[in-house]
Amino acid sequence: MIIAQISDSHVTPGHPGRADALAACVQDINSQPESVDLVVHTGDLVHDATASEYETVSHILERLEKPWFVIPGNRDRRAPMTKAFSTDRLGASEDGFLQYEIPGFPLRLIALDTLDETAKLGTLCDVRFAHLKTMLAEDKNTPTAIFMHHPPYDVVESDFPFQFDSRQTVERFDQILKSYPNFIRIFCGHSHRASEGRIGSIQASTIPSIALDLRWGFYGDEVAKTPLYQIHRYDPKAGFVTCLQAANGSAQAVQTVSAP
């Protein structure tokens, strides 16, 4: 199973190169030699959460030839996102949070909503924790991974490593995950750089931003002007192998291998 993760496109009219960068990633994903099963955008689709920005992103993502899904980042807002994308592309819980299970794949995939519409930092609340518990409790056997915008670990490469509202929130999250041995992996955005960390025994990672002018980290001179995204290959025996992918047809070295 192959998942393409894209993140932090921050599309906005004042920076037309960001929409171009997103389009380049879409084109590269469509031309992957090994067929991608699905694509997940882990948030900050747009920069100012206007309807026209979401319309631009939606038009670009519609070119994807495989199922694709979006989750909110701190620059997103739920109301315009929900208007811009069909329920096939994002799910809304009864309480209006955009967290949902992505059905139809051998691996169980859960999209979490860590957005606080009044702050940059991530959060999870009683409602979202309860919903997560319900989703996890429905299947305690199938290997399960989560996509979420804010990383629930310290991104040590960053000047602002911790990006949740409190340690307590992350501890609560960790306590829930510990109850499910079939829970295996977390994929995040937000940091605008590639990083790896852990929450408890679970491996987690962040991905460079698609927006080149907002990207952190050094990935080689040859891709300095090329948008990057990640391909996660899952094998039941080997676990996940993550590859940093340049939107010019070239793959970077294997970045991460995580146990099944």
Q: Is 165 near Fe ion (CB under 5 A)?
A: no
What strand order describes the sheet that includes 228-235? Answer: 68-70, 38-41, 2-6, 228-235, 239-246, 251-258
For Fe ion, the closer of residues 117 and 222 by Cβ is: 117
For Fe ion, the closer of residues 28 and 44 by Cβ is: 44
Neighbours of 63 (CB within 10 A): 13
- Closest contact distance (angstroms) between CB of 126 and Fe ion is 26
Number of residues forming the site for Fe ion (CB under 5 A):
2
**DSSP per-residue letters across 19-55:** HHHHHHHHHHHHT-SSPP-EEEE-S--BSS--HHHHH
Tokens 């676990």, residue located: 239
CB 100 within 8 A of CB 108: no
Q: Which residue from 8, 28, 53, 76 is in contact with Fe ion, where contact means CB under 5 A?
A: 8
Q: Closest-CB residue for Fe ion?
A: 44
Of 32-61, binders to Fe ion (CB under 5 A) are 44
Where b means 16+ CB within 10 Å and e means fewer, 85-101 reads beeebbbebeeebbbbe
Among the listed ranges 2-10, 85-93, 120-128, 223-231, the one in contact with Fe ion (CB under 5 A) is: 2-10
Among the listed ranges 3-11, 17-25, 52-60, 242-250, the one in contact with Fe ion (CB under 5 A) is: 3-11
For Fe ion, the closer of residues 44 and 53 by Cβ is: 44
For Fe ion, the closer of residues 122 and 197 by Cβ is: 122
- Closest contact distance (angstroms) between CB of 212 and Fe ion is 13
For Fe ion, the closer of residues 44 and 113 by Cβ is: 44
Helix/strand/coil for 143: coil
Among the listed ranges 4-12, 108-116, 127-135, 219-227, the one in contact with Fe ion (CB under 5 A) is: 4-12
Token code pair at residue 231: 């391909």
For Fe ion, the closer of residues 102 and 188 by Cβ is: 188
For Fe ion, the closer of residues 122 and 143 by Cβ is: 122
* Three state DSSP letters for 185-245: EEEECCCCCCEEEEECCEEEEECCCCCHHHCCCCCCHHHCCCCEEEEEEEECCCEEEEEEE
Q: Bridge partners of 245?
A: 229, 251
CB 94 within 8 A of CB 120: no
Among the listed ranges 7-15, 103-111, 165-173, 200-208, the one in contact with Fe ion (CB under 5 A) is: 7-15
- Closest contact distance (angstroms) between CB of 218 and Fe ion is 19
Q: Which residues bind Fe ion (CB under 5 A)?
A: 8, 44
